[in-house]
Structure 1
């Protein structure tokens, strides 16, 4: 089943303007994640303006129908962080419940989990 990586493209870390004027940290991170996710089975990406985690930028949501969903944040927009997000998303896609054993987590994603959300019910009952 596909795991979606939703990347906040409006995230800005404190010194973003000095580092890359005209492009937000979120845009930079989105491009890195999109590149890292190319050809990875079971993983797709999309951008969204503002995940409302401004104090923890750069933010990403990992979601799949019927599985636990996660929000991760406080990343520097780096290739290593992007690879870790995509690596975790691939493991999430392979997991029946969305839960991934800690020992399998990419090192660069550890310490970046903000929240975990249960899957939505299958019906309105």
Structure 2
């Protein structure tokens, strides 16, 4: 089964946020990274998940943004997220659902609360026939 990659925009800032303060996207990336390490990425609890930071995912008006993607699965792009530990935990929980789903489909009611809204895109797997 392909790994689910969690991509967090590290330069995201809510509209009007000062550029002199650290980016909230970086805070979210670090919170996800810390949660993965704390909860046992090395012990296999989060096996099948990978984390990557990316400078700018062009969701600036909807900061903070996160993408979940895996080979052969739907890709999800979320915005309007907070850069805190609770959001990080919910991003990881949603990534686990994505990893366990055969096609990456994430039913709205099955997603953790903070990822039920703020969806910016749901993209089909590369090469999938249109329905």
Give the TM-score band, short-chain normalised. Answer: 0.7 to 0.9
Runs of 4+ in 1 over 2 A off after TM superposition: 14-18, 100-104
1:6 to 2:7 alignment:
yes
* TM-superposed deviation, 1:15: 5.2
Secondary structure of the corresponding residue to residue 18 of structure 2 = helix
Q: 2: distance between equivalents of 1:30 and 1:61?
A: 12
Q: TM-score, normalised by structure 2?
A: 0.84
Q: How many equivalent residue pairs?
A: 120
| Equivalent residue runs for 1:32-111 within 5 Å | 32-38=31-37, 39=41, 40-111=46-117
Q: 2: distance between equivalents of 1:34 and 1:85?
A: 11
Superposition RMSD on alpha carbons, in Å? Answer: 1.7
Deviations along 1:29-79, one digit per CA (max 9) or x if unpaired, are 110111223311211100111000100000111100000001001111111
Which ranges of structure 1 fall in alignment gaps of 5 or more residues? Answer: none
Is contact 1:16-1:25 (8 Å) kept? no
Is contact 2:66-2:78 (8 Å) kept? yes
Query: Corresponding residue for 2:126?
Result: 120
Secondary structure of the corresponding residue to residue 6 of structure 1 = strand
